[in-house]
Amino acid sequence: MEVAFRHCRNGTLRRPPAYRRQAINEGATKVRKKKLMSQDPSPPIAIRLVNVKKYFKDRDVEALGGVSLEVLRGEFITLIGPSGSGKSTLLELLGDIGDEGGPTDGEISIEGKTPEELRKTRGYGIAFQESTLFPWYRVFENCLLPFRIAKSRIPGEQQVRRIEMLLEMVGLDKKFWSYYPRELSGGMQQRVAIVRALALDPPLLLMDEPFGALDDLTRKSMQMLLLDIWSKTKKTILMVTHSISEACFMSDRVVVLSHRPGRIARIVSIPLDRPRERSMSETKAFARICSMVREALGSGEILEEDGSIKE
């Protein structure tokens, strides 16, 4: 049995003490603490952000004003906030791909690594609003690129099998595998981009508005596809979106950022069952959850360090 973590309002996760976890797990009432400490598994925290700030010196812009957040391994988190609230900046800091270095202040740890270590060990996959596929490579070559860039020692035959498996998983018909990106629809391109992000089987997926450029119908089917991939692969997902309903429908928790400089205004836990079904988004409960996020977006309130709301 998994021990439930309690989400605190400031984004951190509070764990019951080890002896209580063990007691809960084994249904025991009295358990010796010493014995338990030696059996204590490492906490499944995938991402830990501690008071992360980002100031772009060149432009004199304070993008992030201090973000603290803990994300469990395998959690699906969406980030939502006004334009310019630092959502992309936060993903860039996690992926160590910003052109102005790391955070100005604070700490980031992902699977126990710094963002630089994570990048060097290909510990994450990333997808953007535009698919960013290379136009001169065919679909299959685009998908194999991460292996080439990483100088992977995985035998070529295995690489090919993995990409075939992933392309089948995202439901891209075989006949398109030899097409160039320009010959695909936007939804197909995003499917390929997701395959590329998953090629090296990283534990973490970073996604910056991956469905932002798609029409409504395609977007909804891509949402279901991503949820399906997530449930099969157990990745930790951090996804930026501008859509309140997308955030509430897909994630375990919605992290709402305030106006620039971005801070966590509120974290809304989504109490909907898994697997998510489209009909859930028609319910009153879903409408209530969405209005909580909408209010948090509009209020501009900021949480104090202790989790209380600053007026």
Ligand X SMILES: Nc1ncnc2c1ncn2[C@@H]1O[C@H](COP(=O)(O)OP(=O)(O)OP(=O)(O)O)[C@@H](O)[C@H]1O
Report the interface residues with ligand X, using CB under 6 A: 56, 58-59, 61, 63, 81, 83-89, 99-100, 260
Residue 289 beta carbon to ligand X: minimum distance, rounded to whole angstroms? 21
Considering CB distances under 5 to 8 angstroms, the limit depending on partner class, which of ligand X, Mg ion, none binds residue 260? ligand X
Looking at the Cβ atoms of 138 and 266, the one nearer to ligand X is 266
Closer to ligand X by Cβ: residue 194 or 257: 257
For ligand X, which is the closer residue by CB, 51 or 243? 243
Strands (E), the chain: 6-7, 13-14, 45-56, 61-72, 76-80, 105-110, 124-127, 204-208, 236-240, 253-257, 264-269, 302-303, 309-310
Nearer to ligand X among residue 74 and residue 84 (C-beta): 84
Position 288, amino acid:
R
Burial 3-37 (b: 16+ CB within 10 A, else e): eebebeebbbbeeeebbebbbeeeeeeebeeeebe
Residue 243 near Mg ion by CB under 5 A: no
Distance CA 250, CA 37 (A): 36
- Closest CB 9 distance from ligand X, rounded Å: 22
State yes or no: cis peptide before 261, omega within 30 of 0: yes
CB of residue 93 vs ligand X: minimum separation in angstroms? Answer: 10
Q: In this complex, which beta carbon is closest to ligand X, that of residue 167 or of residue 206?
A: 206
Reading across the β-sheet that carries 45-56, which strands appear in turn?
61-72, 45-56, 105-110
**Minimum distance, C-beta of residue 42 to ligand X, in the bound complex (Å):** 32
88 binds Mg ion (CB under 5 A): yes
| Chain residues 247-276 in contact with Mg ion, contact rule CB under 5 A | none
Cβ 222 vs Cβ 211: under 8 Å: yes
Distance CA 159, CA 265 (A): 43
Using rule CB under 5 A, residue 221 touches Mg ion = no
Nearer residue to Mg ion within complex by CB, 69 or 289: 69
Minimum distance of ligand X from residue 251's CB (angstroms): 17
Minimum CB separation from ligand X for residue 37, in Å? 42
SS3 205: strand
List of residues contacting Mg ion (CB under 5 A): 88
